[in-house]
Chains A and B, each alone.
Chain A
């Protein structure tokens, strides 16, 4: 059995030795199996035995079963040469093993030399117990082990070299593969992602490859396309077209380009494609196929065509635009020129122009004139606001102060502006409010005019006017005084002649008195005409507004002149049909104007007739325009002279005055009166055929019907009526002029009235305080107390309140009349006294007073 046991052990060891290619594993496994079989607890393999000056040593290549020795692996150990060298032997010398007894003390060792450089030592602290010859049975495997060690070393060297080569190759391969993979991935990605159609065909037109975009063209997978031809997918004609292009590329030897319309089978899309076909060659230069790349240019072509069309259109537009620009440039130049002219004019027009912001009052535009007016430059004023130049618009209150301007839109006012030097100038401002527009806020546009000169002229005019008025007043005063001073003695003269005639005269005396009366009347007429004209020219002539019966006026004029017409053998006609019964106007002045015409007509007519005529020219709700005419059959007048006749102091010729008399003022006064009454005056005449003098007057309709009770019947002889009705009544005559006092007294006494005299106002007041009177005739200008103030005091007396007080005065101006009435007088009788007029007036007031008396 020992034979089989040994064979078993050797078999096991041989399997172990032959089964390992790694030297470490070989030594380790061999040790393990040796320990397994021998029962030795530990073993080492020592290699690279050397002898040196320090003694023999070896490297511990492997250790099993002793951890201390295992930790010394790969170190050199100095060991006894007796241990390292020698044949297979079981040693039992602990001293030899001392260097190896690190953890365990070994006393026995089975030395198994492998070759000259390598030895195996199996170590045990006890003697091995075995029946087998341990020193003999392992001999066969040691030689094999030596060979195996060599093989393992060679193998490891080769393996290491192979591994290094392999690693190098792998690394290189890895790098190449990685790079190739990246490139391939990049190309694949590019090939798949490129929107262009890409394909490769061989020389027979068989597809070798294509990308997904190309697959869409044939609506087939790459797998289905590769290996097939165009004929398998499209019509023979189109396939032939493709084939010819391929052949052209091959013939050209380089890329060729063509355009073609392609229809995609997947969705029917049809587009224009630009195809580049390039012949492909192998390394030897042999043609192997054609590479095709198609790029869609449908949109590009459309854009190109659109661009060409746009460019043409653009050229036209550009031409039009250039023409338009040229036109606009000209218009702009003209506008600029006009603007410059306007600006020039605005700066020199002498009117300041401001544009003012409505909210802040700041100037946003100021022309040169406006700035120069105040001593500023325009740019300086653009930093200012209205309150800086106009005290009327204090700062902080601009919006409120200009509120009305916004409402009224346009205002014009005078104000004062402050100059740079602090002085002020008067200005006239015309302001326009321009509301806010879409592009601009609200503005005030003001035109400012320096009115210093006009103010100065105005002042001069005012002063001149004042002077003229003063002169006029002086003239009026002079005329009034002259009138008063002439009338006063005239009153005495005329009154005296009246009384003389009433006292009975001889024929001779009567003729002389008549001469005195005519001279006095003529003088009075002259005075009256001068006064009237003077008042008219002074603008102080005022018309009365009273009830007027146009027909009565004609009748009164006819009555007043009837005697003279009869004396000359003339017929005096009155035509007054269809006239309004009553109107509102100044009957006296109408009568005066007609008397002027009628007097002239009688004067210049030697035979025939004089006709007084009136008719309505126009009427409305407010009034009536009347035309009065005086037609004669007299000598007539040259047309060239006609107009001159209505100017003051003008007559037909100088001889007229000498032949017919007159002041030459009558027609001028008549025209003035007609104009004052809203009408005109004129004449129509032919020499030898008579004349027609006319005037028009606009009379108002009366507001209320005239009360008949207020119309006193004064028809008939007033003198007789006074005597009959009021004889014995007490009349106080207040007159400072003794002659006039006497004339008045005699005229009154002549109609049966009882007359008492007072020399001035004071005496009149005193007398009235003591006496009762039926009426007072009151002169105006008297010493101590004039008639006006005396009347006021009398009116304050109990018996003076309703007493009729009649002014009897040479002050015949309207203002004199007004002063009398204002002081409380009832009526006005001018000097020189016309006895008939006096009696009519007296009768009128006696009757009124009597009517007012309680029954």
Chain B
């Protein structure tokens, strides 16, 4: 994996160099460098390299968040991939199309017969990823392990954030069937909430009412009552990252939903759906050191993939989590680096994450998590 400068000569140099040994590339670009994408696509086409990738708010380069350059991660053998733009609004139809494409990749014989990981890069503007995951799990079941992140702009403005060597597109998904035991692990470390409420009216990722009252008004009252913070439309996102909603599970886990937008009618938009009449809990995002998130994450990495000492770790860090932690976010990266002992951490700020907090668990769409997986070029 190489973090390169995104100018013409650098691109040309690295792509040419990588083309000597690689069949394809996974590229991660910060939003600030998106204009350089055509150069990269052109270079890949010129050297016959397959390309998949996405644009994120920023990159994770070792223990820092960077908005320059790009990550190029090579595949000696290009894994099965698929691109699907303009996903249907109906989640089951979208899931069926994704599953169909994934099945085509599963039909390709794989060395060793190990179960692959279906790694998905979604446009963060797709509003029903959780439902798509439900449909996908019904269809593909345990044929694959599930992992993935959302790309896009942290402003949540639509843009073509997914690409291959030929084109860029939005409102879709890129899929990679990563071979071998590259089990991704996910962790957020959010503690159990103290207050429950009912999302009495929802539609996809929009919460219209909570406890049969306008959602923002309830949210304002609760934040005011619990934490003494006066929420306004202007400072809404700034504070919302600290007080996300959670959907509780019987196993004690909670699926985090960070409100990211406020509508004029008082509705709240989250990254990820909220089932109607779901019992929501209001979470308080833990400060650095308040949770065992990094420790658990590192432990699960070791448990699933063995020791990562000196290895390369694909690392996606939730943009909302970084906003919540601020400068401590990079401290958390340092902690992760230290806990895993990896030589390099390469990744990006994500706008939603896919995975399970437990091995073989039900694939769940999360917010505020770190998703990590050892990188194996082979």
Contact = CB atoms under 8 A, between A and B. Distances in A.
Interface of A: 1, 4-9, 11-12, 15, 28, 32, 35-42, 63-67, 70, 103-104, 124-126, 128-132, 134, 137-138
30 contacts: A5-B248, A6-B250, A9-B250, A9-B279, A11-B198, A11-B278, A12-B278, A15-B277, A15-B278, A32-B134, A32-B138, A32-B362, A36-B364, A37-B249, A38-B251, A39-B361, A39-B362, A40-B362, A65-B142, A66-B141, A67-B140, A67-B142, A67-B143, A103-B142, A124-B360, A129-B251, A129-B252, A132-B250, A132-B252, A137-B250
A8 B247 CA distance: 8
B364 to A, nearest CB: 7
Interface string B243-287: 000011111110000000000000000000001111101000000
B278 A41 contact: no
Contacts of A64: 137-138, 141
Interface in B12-27: none
Interface string B346-371: 00000000001111111010000000
B142 A66 contact: yes
B360 A38 contact: no
A74 to B, nearest CB: 16
B87 interface: no
Nearest to A13: B250
B358 to A, nearest CB: 5
A41 B362 contact: yes
B143 A65 contact: no
B192 interface: yes
B139 to A, nearest CB: 9
B130 to A, nearest CB: 10
B142 A126 contact: no
A1 B281 CA distance: 10
Contacts of B361: 39-41
A70 to B, nearest CB: 6
B335 interface: no
B180 interface: no
A8 B196 contact: yes
Contacts of A126: 358-360
A599 B362 CA distance: 190
Nearest to B364: A36
Nearest to B249: A37
A187 to B, nearest CB: 44
Nearest to A5: B248
A128 B141 contact: no
Contacts of A66: 141-142
B68 to A, nearest CB: 40
Nearest to A29: B134
Interface string B38-63: 00000000000000000000000000
B233 to A, nearest CB: 29
Contacts of A9: 248-250, 279
A70 B141 contact: yes
B193 interface: yes
Interface string B132-156: 0010011011110000000000000
B202 to A, nearest CB: 12
B249 A36 contact: yes
B35 interface: no
B356 A39 contact: yes
Contacts of A124: 360
Interface of B: 134, 137-138, 140-143, 192-194, 196, 198, 247-253, 275-279, 281, 356-362, 364
A28 B358 contact: no
Given A15-B278, A129-B358, 7 more contacts: A6-B250, A9-B249, A32-B134, A32-B362, A37-B249, A39-B362, A41-B362
A39 B192 contact: no
B323 to A, nearest CB: 26
B311 to A, nearest CB: 25
A189 to B, nearest CB: 43
Contact of B360 (A41, A130, A131, A138): A41
Contacts of A38: 249-251
B250 A37 contact: yes
Contacts of B358: 39, 126, 129
Contacts of A134: 250
B137 A4 contact: no
A28 B143 CA distance: 18
B187 to A, nearest CB: 14
Contact of A37 (B137, B251, B277, B360): B251
Contacts of B194: 1
Interface of B is mostly: loop
Contacts of A32: 134, 137-138, 362
B362 A65 contact: yes
- Give the one of B194, B357, B360 with max A CB within 10 A: B360
A671 B247 CA distance: 180
- Give the one of B250, B251, B359 with max A CB within 10 A: B250
A100 B362 CA distance: 18
A35 B140 CA distance: 15
Contacts of B278: 8, 11-12, 15
A831 B260 CA distance: 188
A325 B335 CA distance: 136
A7 B250 contact: no
A37 to B, nearest CB: 4
A107 to B, nearest CB: 12
Given A36-B362, A65-B362, A130 B251 contact: yes
Contacts of B357: 39
A130 B253 CA distance: 9
Contacts of A37: 249-251
Given A1-B194, A41-B142, A66-B141, A128 B251 contact: yes
Given A134-B250, A137-B250, A1 B193 contact: yes
Contacts of B141: 42, 63-67, 70
Contacts of A132: 250-252
Contacts of A63: 141
Contact of B196 (A4, A41, A42, A65): A4
A784 to B, nearest CB: 159
Contacts of B275: 12, 15
Contacts of A4: 196, 248, 279, 281
A129 B137 CA distance: 22
Contacts of A129: 251-252, 358
A39 B277 contact: no
Nearest to A124: B360
A15 B276 CA distance: 9
B22 to A, nearest CB: 32
B122 to A, nearest CB: 19
B252 A65 contact: no
Contacts of B251: 37-39, 128-130, 132
A136 to B, nearest CB: 11
A63 B364 CA distance: 18
B278 to A, nearest CB: 6
A345 B239 CA distance: 146
Nearest to A103: B142
The 10 A-B pairs of least Cβ separation, nearest first, read A8-B279, A37-B250, A67-B141, A39-B251, A41-B360, A130-B251, A4-B196, A35-B362, A9-B250, A37-B249
A5 B193 CA distance: 9
B74 to A, nearest CB: 31
A141 to B, nearest CB: 11
Contacts of B356: 39
B221 to A, nearest CB: 18
B281 A8 contact: yes
A5 B194 CA distance: 10
Contacts of B137: 32, 64-65
Nearest to A71: B141
A442 B249 CA distance: 126
Nearest to A137: B250
Contacts of A130: 250-252
Contacts of A103: 142
A125 B142 CA distance: 12
